[in-house]
Structure formats: C-alpha cells, structure tokens
Amino acid sequence: MTCIDDRITVDPEQCGGRPCIRGLRIRVTDVLDLLASGLSPAQIVDELPDLQVDDIPAALRFASRRVDHPVLAA
C-alpha cells in the first residue's frame, strides 16, 4: 500500500488500485461524486460512517493535484 497523503492510500489489492481514503474501501471518487451530487460534508459523513470530516478536503486536494498539470497543445 502506498500512502500518497496522510489520508489517501493506493493499494493494488484494494478497489482495483484506485485511490482510497485511509486504506478503507471508500474511493476518492466516491467522495467526489457525493460532493458533486450536492451533499454537504456532514451528509457524506452520515452516509459513510467510517469517513471522517477531514477526509473530504483531503479528497479534494488529491483531485486538484491530479488535474494540475500542463496540457501541451500542438
């Protein structure tokens, strides 16, 4: 298991190697999808009781860093 952040982990044996929250089977994309659906952080924690409130900004930071790269146009 690789720890990308203090709250984001990647394990090839878990969730197909997709980034997860603290080694749980809660993928970063699960959290992002719930946010995109309009749920508040409190509602997300209610929906996923193993999640902690601090996991939500960690998921957002992870996603932000993943898309923050230059795109070369020819």
DSSP state letter for 3: E
pLDDT score of 68: 85
User: Token pair 């197909």 is at which residue?
Assistant: 16
Instruction: Output phi, psi for 72, to 5 deg.
Output: -90, 130
Domains and CATH numbers, the chain: 2-64 (1.10.10.10)
DSSP state letter for 71: -
| pLDDT range class, residue 61, cuts 50, 70, 90 | very high
pLDDT at residue 59 above 80?
A: yes
3-state SS, residue 20: strand
| pLDDT range class, residue 3, cuts 50, 70, 90 | confident
Mark out the alpha helices in the chain (DSSP H runs): 28-36, 41-47, 55-67
| Percentage of the chain lying above the pLDDT 70 cut | 100
Provide the phi-psi class of 22: left if phi over 0, else alpha when psi is between -120 and 50, else beta.
left
